[in-house]
Amino acid sequence: MNKRPEPKLFDVLSAEQITPNMRRVTIGGPAMTTFPAGQDGGYVKLMLPGADEKPVVRTYTIRRQSADALDIDFALHGDHGSGGPAVSWAKTVTPGETIRVGGPGPAKPLAPGADWYLAAGDMTALPAIAVNLEALHEDAVGDAVIEIQSEADRQNLLHPEGIRLHWVINPEPGHHPQAFDEAVRAIEWRKGRVYAWCATEFETMRRVRAYLREERGLGPNQLYVSSYWKQGLGEDQHKVLKRADAEEKTLGPVSAAPI
Ligand SMILES: Cc1cc2nc3c(=O)[nH]c(=O)nc-3n(C[C@H](O)[C@H](O)[C@H](O)COP(=O)(O)OP(=O)(O)OC[C@H]3O[C@@H](n4cnc5c(N)ncnc54)[C@H](O)[C@@H]3O)c2cc1C
């Protein structure tokens, strides 16, 4: 059985605001010598300081990996961006501090060879969407629907000319899931084989998933869909709900079959 690699101790190299509601923390140091190369878009587990020496674990995407560093972009949330443990850490951490980091886990790229692409997500998925659009073939066409908290949170993403970006403003992430769902539904459904990718808040994800799976009939080889967080729940409780949702989805057709 493969044993998970032990979390490694990284140095915080810098922390900077990249848009009003997105903060980038760059980590590196000696741990990079044993960190596998080419993990852009993969995820890491940040072991944040918690009570009673028990770390609080939060999952984040590797926005960019260089030879000696990883960039991690934190969507700031909560009243005045106060957020949970991950966001408070990102807002207050200073260069020279350290953090234990587990992973990496695999990236979820856009499958090659589709006639067109539909990528959808909120600010927590913006790092993954950015990596995925950068990796597309220059002739790729499609649409990316991205929810941000304010107009000023738009980023200059590298993407093929044929990919259209649609920014959806929602100052209250996790609320008004129907607005994002409607924005995805408003995208013109192009001809040919689509590959769709969606990562967002749980309730929003369920709506978009129902549209793509049930109404558009996309199967698993044409669709990646995931919830990255759940309004009102911390990451641990969200994980439990996510597992139950996955089981329900797997068991659904089986339990509906004639006995
Ligand atoms: C594979 C994967 C990759 C991810 N990559 C990123 C990434 O690159 N950047 C990123 O910012 N997030 C990313 N996330 C989401 C991130 O892990 C969660 O948002 C996490 O819950 C934030 O931790 P916290 O300690 O700040 O808040 P928690 O303690 O987990 O939650 C505290 C409260 O804040 C709410 N909350 C949590 N996140 C948000 C949010 N984004 N907006 C509004 N309310 C929120 C919760 O519902 C809860 O009520 C990723 C998640 C997964 C599963």
Q: Give yes or no: residues 81 and 121 share one domain.
A: no
Question: Does residue 73 line the site of ligand 1, with CB under 6 A?
Answer: yes
Q: Whose CA is nearest to atom 4 of ligand 1?
A: 60
Which domain covers residue 124, as residue numbers? Answer: 116-248
What integer best gives the mean pLDDT of the chain? 93
Question: Does residue 235 line the site of ligand 1, with CB under 6 A?
Answer: yes
Higher pLDDT, 174 or 249: 174
For residue 253, pLDDT beyond 70: no
Is 257 part of any domain? no
Question: Does residue 202 line the site of ligand 1, with CB under 6 A?
Answer: no
Q: Give yes or no: residues 229 and 127 share one domain.
A: yes
Is 2 part of any domain? no
β-pair partners for 48: 56
For residue 128, pLDDT beyond 60: yes
Distance 234 CA to ligand 1 centre (A): 8
Q: What is the CATH number of the domain that holds 51?
A: 2.40.30.10
Q: Give yes or no: residues 138 and 78 share one domain.
A: no
* Amino acid in the structure at residue 170: N
Helix (H, G, I), strand (E, B) or coil at 103: strand
Q: Is 53 left (phi over 0), alpha (psi -120 to 50) or beta?
A: left
For 179-193, what is each residue's pLDDT tens digit? 999 999 999 999 999
Q: Give yes or no: residues 204 and 180 share one domain.
A: yes
Q: What is the CATH number of the domain that holds 154?
A: 3.40.50.80
Question: Does residue 46 line the site of ligand 1, with CB under 6 A?
Answer: no
Q: Give yes or no: residues 46 and 71 share one domain.
A: yes
Q: What is the pLDDT of residue 259?
A: 35
For 49-100, what is each residue's pLDDT tens digit? 877 788 999 999 999 999 999 999 999 998 776 789 999 999 999 999 999 9
254 falls in which pLDDT band (50, 70, 90)? very low
For 17-39, what is each residue's pLDDT tens digit? 999 999 999 999 999 999 999 99
Q: Please return the burial class of 90, using the count of CB atoms within 10 Å of its CB with bins 0-12, 13-18 and 19+.
A: buried
